[in-house]
Amino acid sequence: MYLTYKEYMKKKYGEALYSITVDLDLGCPSRCSFCPTHGSRSAQSMDASSVEEQIKVGIAFAKKRYKAKRFMLYLQAYTNTFSSLKEQKKTYSKLLKLYKFDAISIGTRPDCLSDETLAYLKELNKEIDVYIDLGVQTLNDKTLQNINRGHDSKSSIEAIKKLQHYGIKVFSHIIVGFEGESREDWSKTVKKLVALNVDGFKIHNLHIVKNTPLHVEYKKREFKTYNEYEYAEELIHLLRLIPNSIPILRIATDTPKKDLIAPKWQMSKGEFGKYVKDTLEYRYGKSDVNHNFWSKKYKDYYYPKSGAQKQAKELFIAKSNLKQRLESKDIRLLDIGYGFGINSFEALKIKSKNSLFITALDQDARIAKLDKRIDFIVGDIRYTLPKLKDKFDVIFLDPFDEEKNQEMVSIEVFKILKKLLHTDGVIVTSTSLNSTKERFEDVGFKVKIVNIYDIKGLLIS
């Protein structure tokens, strides 16, 4: 998977260090288009009037909320080396005397690291672990110019090399989703930073914050921002490029809702983290399903006691009239919740002069038995389903466990299915829950309950 910051800290310090963020209000030499007027100050310290109070409030909050015992001083907002060396020494010395911190992390820019500052940080690093949180953002020079960054990619590369020369660890901060960039651009950025042997990554999606220059531009024309499913796909691609020896400090932001213009996510930061972790496990982890189709994750069998083939033949194939449909024309079948592929494989056994075209969707690629006759698409259906353009004659919907896979039986999904289904098409599900039936009816479907021994389902048209 990937090395989390918490795991990295536990290996280094024996336990996680909780970051106490402090805003020194030092400003920046150039204000980026995405940067809010309060920099990146934490929510916990937003109302504190002094740095002393920010530290006091931050530590009290961490001890109460997270039972934290050890701390890192984090100078997060703006550019914390954007002052004279004399002022830096005075400020850092004062702050580090306020509490026994185990480390200090300093947020800054590539163009604000003078040789004098680097020499001082090298000496400070002998007293306390020093980390530089370096705002690289992207190594695309055109983008850096467009966002008014004030430096080029060469400055970032040189700053990283200098920091390493002085023995200071550097965490690179990058943003995914700048207008005009694509997966190729942020992949190039990550690959180059990995080649430079940076000590960690902070990654998040581009978001539009109220009253920023980017907000002004967004009001003129609403350019694309990434929803959680789209961004997760890009993030997972990038995480696969980063060796698991390099910690990932951040994968999302927590901009206050009152300040966030776009994108508006349904998931919280914590929910998104779990979603990414689960998706990585589904695609690249080892299957937890044994030869009896028992799932350790769900603590249940994937199929009814009557058997998977019986369910495929007597529920999905028989109730959809798939054989009869194939006698009159070519059929497009959408198999959602593909799993082991048994429903699709049984459908392919039907002999007909006409053709059966199958598109299959599933999140868990570990258990899928693939076939070149099936167009298999891996991913959360909230991401993959809206991308489908073809209409389907038959749709199989097999959510397995509605409580754990609620996204598969949501009214939003059913609305998309309504658009994807031909007017004379049919949907067959392996669930007969009343709540699911009612959601289908709310969208405008006609629904019948099906009972075959211990096999239950719905027939929707």
Residue-wise pLDDT tens for the chain (461 aa)?
A: 799 999 999 999 999 999 999 888 766 777 789 888 655 545 554 555 688 999 999 999 999 999 999 999 999 866 667 778 888 898 889 999 999 999 999 999 999 899 999 999 999 999 999 999 999 999 999 999 999 999 999 999 999 999 999 999 999 999 999 999 999 999 999 999 999 999 999 999 999 999 999 999 999 999 999 999 999 999 999 999 999 999 999 999 888 999 999 999 999 999 999 999 989 988 887 655 444 454 555 555 555 555 678 889 999 999 999 999 999 999 999 999 988 889 999 999 999 999 999 999 998 887 777 889 999 999 999 999 999 999 999 999 998 776 667 888 999 999 999 999 999 999 999 888 888 999 999 999 999 998 886 677 888 88
Handedness of CA 243, 244, 245, 250 (dihedral sign): positive
Separation of alpha carbons 415 and 318, rounded Å: 25
> How do beta strands 294-295 and 421-429 pair?
unpaired
CB of 252 closer than 8 Å to CB of 208:
no
Residues forming a β-bridge with 170: 132
Element (H, E) at 424: strand 421-429
The CA angle 187-171-45, to the nearest 5 degrees, is: 120
> How do beta strands 294-295 and 260-262 pair?
unpaired
Element (H, E) at 80: none
Peptide bond into 304 cis (omega under 30): no
Q: Give the list of residues 6+ apart from residue 216 with CB closer than 8 angstroms, or none.
A: none
